[in-house]
Amino acid sequence: MNIRIGNGYDVHRLAEGLPLWLGGVLIPHNLGSVAHSDGDVLIHAICDALLGAAGLRDIGVYFPDTDPTFKGVDSKILLHEVMKLLREKGYTVGNIDTVICLQRPKIMGFIPQMQETLANVMEIAIENISIKATTSEKLGFVGREEGISAYAVVLLSH
Ligand SMILES: Nc1ccn([C@@H]2O[C@H](COP(=O)(O)O)[C@@H](O)[C@H]2O)c(=O)n1
Ligand SMILES: C[C@@]1(CO)OP(=O)(O)OP(=O)(O)OC[C@H]1O
């Protein structure tokens, strides 16, 4: 069996009055992601980690932010497409570990719902999806609430 590791990172600016989607869940907040898609930074980081592990480039190669087809697209659809591609190539997801960097609000209460949502889209067990959150102690762009970022690491087997 061939085990492969991948990592993904994504950032979006935050602005007043936009929806804040994270892990496929709508988080009640006064700020949301500025993006071409729905701006789900966690799903984008996961997609990049999956594609990276398989040596298949990154999310922008498949879903360009210049293509009107993807304007406002639900990132769960993009993740579903990435999973389809990986399965076609014979990959199975082992586990995923992620970090969301967000100063406000506290999102720990939404993490079980994100895990369930992602497990359904990816067709893997909830236990294989870890989602963590951190502020940046009011430092940098996250700390100033100018943006949100997420990191993801995945293991694939082939
Ligand atoms: N947006 C966030 C950020 C953090 N958390 C949770 O709070 C804990 C403490 O965060 P620090 O940045 O002060 O270390 C962290 O371990 C998370 O469990 C959160 O829920 N939402
Ligand atoms: C998700 C896509 C889809 O057009 O656009 P954005 O929502 O802007 O997100 P980003 O992570 O900057 O780029 C990847 C794009 O594929």
pTM (two decimals): 0.97
Atom 12 (ligand 2) nearest CA: 35
Centroid of chain to Cα 121: 12
Per-residue pLDDT band for 26 (boundaries 50, 70, 90) equals very high
Q: What is the mean pLDDT of residues 103-118?
A: 98
Atom of ligand 2 at shortest range from CA of 33:
7
Place of tokens 């009011």: 138
| Beta bridge mates, 24 | none
Q: What is the mean pLDDT of the chain?
A: 98
The type of residue at 12 is H
Closest CA to 97 of 21, 27, 46: 46
- Asked if residue 40 has its Cβ within 6 Å of ligand 2, the reply is no
**Residue (of 61, 50, 23) closest to 39 by Cα position:** 23
Q: Given ligand 1 and candidates 20, 101, 106, 136, which is best to mutate, with the most ligand atoms within 8 Å of its CB?
A: 106
ipTM of the complex: 0.94
Q: Give domain limits for the chain.
A: 3-157
Distance 105 CA to ligand 1 centre (A): 9
The enclosing H or E element of 80 equals: helix 75-88
Span 38-55, mean pLDDT?
98
Cβ-contact 114, 25 below 8 angstroms = yes
* Strand, coil or helix: 104: coil
Q: Answer whether CATH 3.40.50.11440 is correct for domain 3-157.
A: no
**Ligand 1, residues 135, 138, 151: which to mutate, most atoms within 8 A of Cβ?**
135
